[in-house]
């Protein structure tokens, strides 16, 4: 099975090399970096590392869809630029997908920080996939290309695209949770505090399920978070106002 790893990026020169190298070392047949308008050396680093590079408008969903259109693999693996794969992660996917009933899934996480609170987060996120069927993007979602195309890819919204895709894919089958792990940068929890960041995530998800628009949630995220997602949303807003 050919596997394409798709990495959406905006100004990720500091972290893109680790993500790309982990994909190659895990046995990717192709690595596509989907750039949303980087002003640093992200693109030149990706090219030097042997990646295919596609450019698109800013926004994780838009960028991932652009990467998927370029991909040649039968399995699409969506890896965030500040995360990286375990050496045998793609072998786990290939082994699991010998069963043709396996259509999609995600990985267990390993947050790169010490402390029981981070281990509890990892446990809770794994529980969410097993019992709710909802992997988040930072768990490295993988999906068969055929199914991804049938479902129309990620909804091109500014936030919650991973939750919306999961809702569609679990109608086809339940997601498989693989051991991985995918290694996660801890900076957002360290920046805001584990409890505060977790409560914020729950609040956003609850508001989404209550019917608040992704536009209003994105505005809230932009005001209250200084991370990568907020930077992406800010770039979309700036271009929309231009």
Q: What is the mean pLDDT of each run of 10 residues along the chain (242 residues)?
A: 98 97 99 98 98 96 98 98 98 97 98 94 96 96 98 94 96 97 90 84 84 81 57 45 40
Closest among 147, 130, 128, 149 to 69, alpha carbons compared? 149
Assigned token pair, 102: 């396996």
The reported pLDDT for the residue numbered 238 is 43
User: What does the domain layout of the chain look like in residue ranges?
Assistant: 3-186
CA-CA-CA-CA torsion sign (223, 227, 230, 231): positive
The reported pLDDT for the residue numbered 206 is 85
The reported pLDDT for the residue numbered 221 is 75
The reported pLDDT for the residue numbered 234 is 44
Closest among 199, 241, 209, 121 to 224, alpha carbons compared? 199
Assigned token pair, 106: 């995600």
Give 3-186's CATH code, choosing from 3.90.550.10, 3.40.630.30, 1.20.190.20, 2.40.50.100: 3.90.550.10
The reported pLDDT for the residue numbered 101 is 95
The reported pLDDT for the residue numbered 158 is 86
3-class secondary-structure state, position 7: strand
Residue 27 backbone phi and psi in degrees, to 5:
100, 25
The reported pLDDT for the residue numbered 10 is 96
- To which H or E segment does residue 24 belong? helix 16-25
Closest among 199, 200, 183, 187 to 227, alpha carbons compared? 187
Confirm if 37 and 53 have CB atoms less than 8 A apart: no
The reported pLDDT for the residue numbered 86 is 98
Closest among 209, 220, 201 to 121, alpha carbons compared? 201
The reported pLDDT for the residue numbered 95 is 98
3-class secondary-structure state, position 90: helix
The reported pLDDT for the residue numbered 180 is 97
Strand partners, 104: 143
Dist CA 210 CA 234 (whole Å)? 24
């Amino acid at each position: 099975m050919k596997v394409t790893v798709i990495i959406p990026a905006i100004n990720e020169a500091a972290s893109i090399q680790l993500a790309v190298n982990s994909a190659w070392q895990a046995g990717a047949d192709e690595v596509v970096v989907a750039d949303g308008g980087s002003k640093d050396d992200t693109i030149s680093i990706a090219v030097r590392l042997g990646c295919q590079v596609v450019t698109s408008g800013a926004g994780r969903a838009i960028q991932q869809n652009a990467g998927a259109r370029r991909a040649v693999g039968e399995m699409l693996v969506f890896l965030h630029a500040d995360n990286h794969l375990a050496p045998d992660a793609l072998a786990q996917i290939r082994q699991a997908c010998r069963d043709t009933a396996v259509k999609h899934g995600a990985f267990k996480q390993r947050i790169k920080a010490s402390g029981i609170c981070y281990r509890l987060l990892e446990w809770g996120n794994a529980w969410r996939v097993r019992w709710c069927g909802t992997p988040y993007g930072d768990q490295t979602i993988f999906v068969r290309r055929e199914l991804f195309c049938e479902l129309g890819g990620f909804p091109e919204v500014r936030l919650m695209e991973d939750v919306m895709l999961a809702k569609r894919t679990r109608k086809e089958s339940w997601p498989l949770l693989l051991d991985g792990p995918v290694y996660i940068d801890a900076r957002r929890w360290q920046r805001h505090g584990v409890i505060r960041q977790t409560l914020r995530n729950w609040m956003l998800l609850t508001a989404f399920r209550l019917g608040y628009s992704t536009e209003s949630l994105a505005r809230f995220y932009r005001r209250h978070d200084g991370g990568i997602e907020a930077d992406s949303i800010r770039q979309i807003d700036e271009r929309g106002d231009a």
